[in-house]
Amino acid sequence: MSVTVVAHSVCLPEDAPEAPRIPSDGAWFDVREHLGRRGYRQLPLPAQLALAAVRRLSPPDGSTAESTAGDRLGLWLGSSTAASHCLADLDGRILSEGTESLPPTGAPYFSVNLVPSRAANDLGATGPSVTVTSTGTAVLDAIACARRALALGRVDEATVVAVEVPDGGQSRGRPTECGAIALQLRTGGAGGHVRTASAFVAGDPASAARLVRANLEPTASVPVLVVEPGGSSSDGPGPLAGALRLVDAVRDGDDLAVVVADPSGAATGVVVEHSPVSTHESDPVRSMTP
Amino acid sequence: MPLAKVSGIGAVCHAGSTVAEVWDGMTDAVVAPVEIGDAHMDGPVRLIHLVAGSTSERDRSFDGPGRSRAGRLAVRAAAEAVRDAGPGPRPGRTGLVVGSCMGNSGESERVREGAAEEAPELYGIAADVATELGLQGPVLNVANACAAGAYAVGHAADLIATGECDRVVVVGVEAYSRVALGCFNQMAALDPERCRPFAVDRAGTAFGEGAGALVLDRTDGAAAGAAGDVLLGGAGFSCDAGHATAPAADGVQARRAFSVALEEAGLAPEGIGLVVPHGTGTTLNDQVEAELLRDLWPEPADAPPVYSAKALIGHTGGGAGALAAVMAVLCLREGKVPANCDVGELMPQMTGYLHDVPSPVAGAAVVNAYAFGGNNATLVFQGVP
């Protein structure tokens, strides 16, 4: 069954230069500007970013999206770093000031699934709320998980929120990104059709990426962007940058495949195709790894 | 049609270091939580149900592959499940879903306190297991807190249903984490005695550590279900979309997850022969779940036996749903459920539902798993007579 992107949004600095478009820290994010003056300042950064992205969701053509009954609406978070971010902060407080210093609003966020659940609360989404945290590939894994749920009829609509944040030094050479992207997916209809694939080849991200590309089976002319965060440079683009390219493609009506291959050997790819015939160049493979 | 066949199970927890030991532990019902040794955890309640044979939350009594305590637990349980399942499809058709909320948090905590120089990635457990087992299909981690193991089972079923995998290994795992224990202390959600689900004077939960693993295989329609097989019949998921930590008092979404799972399995409540509840020992969770069960079976004489896993092994967080599933499968294989651990006087709503003697299992086994964020999951396992 075809799964389509019906709306998208980004929560990133609006005045960022073209490259890099993903900041490495949250200094740009003003919670009051993005979410309002009351009720959000105590939430951890990943929850703030996720909420801001979800609230900006809008269809590519600017139309008003149809509403889906809450029980048929699911929410998937993809983040390799949100949990590390929250845990590092909470553990730092325990070590320096003891457990009694843990903030009542922030302490429950040791449980990273509160990030999508808080967004589900905003949306009235009472379908599955799923938190995907795979190392490196979580952002695209969340899209893949949501696509499966739609294809199997578990939900009628899926909101996917991709959030990456500074992770307290646990990234082990992977690039640091800070921002959020949201996609709204449904079955059928017009728009960018989504397919996904994943593979694992222990310690060999390049081979895993090749497997994923083969399994994705993109139309020959569809460009394939391979993101290997931390492959040979810690400053290279990361998974959020890859997801942003997918959003750009949806917005512009372009076809694109993005494969994120983590140094562990896990790789996941997402292809967005608008029509069977692509308008792109014949040599589609480009790599974002220097 | 069933979602998958449960071809293999593996477990390591407070009740035992293998599935056979866990069954013996369920039968013996001996519970002995200990104080953690972490000097940096200053909360008043410091109990943990360590894995069998372990003497502290950071010892190396169970060695093996894996870059962390949680990783070693996960590899151990997964390897046992794969041995139990026997030969499977080629590596590219075999996936892995790990359910863990705290991941390798314990190792990161040691780095922060200066006891170690480097920690593996927080969710590097999945790579450890996939590497050890030589898997090449999709590999991912879901972190739906205390329901992560059950969400992992559900997502594994989706990987099979979409045709991406013929076999998926599922592991739910959690090891000691100072942050988790500290936050539960801060929320006054811990019982200083032990984990006493559905006890009238329960005072919160008590953590445990462990890993539960299942191997799910694609079924071939009518060919599925040889005598003695256990099948995953249904899985239901929902979100309260309400309070951050407390379950919705009306339990509407928990009931819906239950109904969805039963409907998928083609079952009515009369077809249920065992319930392994979430039952944490926290006041509101047990209240809401007890009312759910009472609504389905108003009279205890008509109800299936309810087996309280956490009373035996503690609350294993992301491992809980998977370990409960392993115990449910074990009960279906054995055709009986052991007596519950004694937790003292039961809350009135549950008196008569938790048996203190072994009982036959006549019907499907249902596993509930709930989590912070109002995440609800129900799994249905069916034995083939």
The pLDDT score that the predictor gives to residue A168 is: 75
Which of the residues B122, B258, B372 would you substitute to probe the A interface, choosing the one with the greatest number of A C-beta atoms within 10 Å? B122
Q: For residue A18, is pLDDT > 60?
A: no
Q: How far is A226 from chain B (nearest CA, A)?
A: 17
* pLDDT, average across residues A237-247: 93
Count helices and strands (H / E) in chain B.
10, 14
Residue B19 to residues A162, B323, B329, B330, Cα–Cα distance (Å)? 38, 10, 11, 8
Lowest-pLDDT choice from A26-30, A146-150, B340-344: A26-30
Residue type for position A35: L
Mean pLDDT over residues B193-202, rounded?
97
pLDDT digits (tens, 9 = 90+) for B129-180: 999 999 999 999 999 999 999 999 999 999 999 999 999 999 999 999 999 9
Of A95, A100, A124, Cβ closest to residue B186: A100
- The residue segments making up the domain with residue B200 are 4-383
Tokens of A72: 């048929």
**Which chain A residues are within 8 Å of B187, Cβ to Cβ?**
107-108
Is the separation of the CB atoms in B198 and B343 below 8 Å? yes
Report the pLDDT averaged over residues A124-147.
Answer: 97
37-56 of A, contacting B, C-beta below 8 A: none
Q: CATH number for the domain including B175?
A: 3.40.47.10
Q: Which residue of chain A comes nearest to B317, CA vs CA?
A: A111
| Averaged pLDDT, B230-258 | 96
Number of domains composing chain B? 1
pLDDT for B319 equals 98
The ipTM assigned to this model is: 0.97
Each domain of chain A, given as residue ranges in start order, spans 3-287
The DSSP H or E segment spanning A145 is helix A138-151
Nearest Cα residue in chain B from A113: B144
Give me the phi and psi of A268, to 5 degrees please: -135, 140
Q: Do residues A191 and A274 lie in contact, with contact meaning Cβ atoms separated by under 8 Å?
A: yes
Question: Structure pTM?
Answer: 0.96
The whole-angstrom separation of Cα B188 and Cα A143 is 36
Which residues of chain A have a CB within 8 Å of the CB of B248? none
Q: Give the count of Cβ contacts less than 8 A between chain A and B.
A: 229
What is the per-residue pLDDT across A32-80, written as a single tens digit (0 to 9) for each? Answer: 999 998 889 999 999 999 999 999 997 666 565 667 889 999 999 999 9
Chain A within 8 Å of B124 (Cβ-Cβ)? yes
Q: Looking at the domain A3-287, which fold is it? A: Peroxisomal Thiolase; Chain A, domain 1 (3.40.47)
- Residue to substitute from A73, A114, A170, interface B, most B β-carbons within 10 A: A170
Provide the Cα torsion B161, B163, B166, B171; round to 10°: -50
Q: Which of residues 65-104 of B touch A (CB under 8 A)?
A: 92, 95-96, 101-103
pLDDT digit string, tens, across residues A110-123: 999 999 999 999 99
To the nearest whole Å, the CA of A248 is away from the closest chain B CA by 26
Q: Are residues A113 and B187, on separate chains, in Cβ contact within 8 Å?
A: no
